[in-house]
Structure 1
Amino acid sequence: MNFDIVDTRRFFRNRFAYYVVNKDSHGTGVRDGAPLTLRDLCRILESDSEPFPRRYDPDMRKLCNHEYLTWFREERTYGDVARLLSRLLAAEDGLLPHPGGRWVHGVLKGDRLSDFWLRSDEEIEITLADLE
């Protein structure tokens, strides 16, 4: 399925808002007609340089926890949000330890995500099965 970038960003915002409230990266309660998960959208938008809307700053504060001031130092992009979410999802999946310390700074200053942070749900399931 190919969606234009405007729709893709809208799907991302929908799933982002849903994730912040429900901690569900699959977006099972989002009814926008797209079969994409939050992880899928993070893969698509990891390099997107479009500014992320400021109206989501309260949600970003929740997401970044104690390191939220790092987020507010400059204008951020969809790609920045995608990388932060991918890091959190990797921790939830058990692929990385839960973030602590200066994790927001580390993710935002990194050039690109490690590949396994952005694997599809099916690839994650296979990886987790291999770890067991």
Structure 2
Amino acid sequence: MIKGIGHIALAVRDIEGVAAALCRTIGLPLPPIKTFPERRMKVALVEVGPVQLELLEDLSETGMIARHVAAHGNSIHHFCLITDAIDADLQELKQREVPLMDPVPREGLRGKRIAFISPELLKGIPIELSDP
């Protein structure tokens, strides 16, 4: 069952610059920027109340985030909904023939089980489901 919004992911070209500008503008501490070489990306999590802004920068020029930024500039990439029953939710979505990118959960960057609903559902915006 969906419990709320976990994060909103922003695909960016310059994570250091975007994080600094964002945090300076809204008066929040600068978050650590983590590099995930195996996923070819950098990630920073900006805490904004109960929701996180997840900044994503591709380490390659051909990865999913880099392609998104090339096509759309710095912009919202996806949003994440927290669920306390990801397996049951995925089964229900399959029964309703909702297009899924991940028919079974996989491990996300934070070590939680996640799955993505296809961007075709919302005409280009993927939805991530995540364990709490």
TM-score range, shorter chain: under 0.3
- Whose strand fraction is larger, Structure 1's or Structure 2's? 2
User: Per residue, is there more helix in 1 or in 2?
Assistant: 1
**Larger Cα-atom Rg:** 2
The two structures have a TM-score, normalised by structure 1, of: 0.28
Higher RCO (Cα < 8 Å, 6 or more apart) = 2
- TM-score normalised per structure 2: 0.28
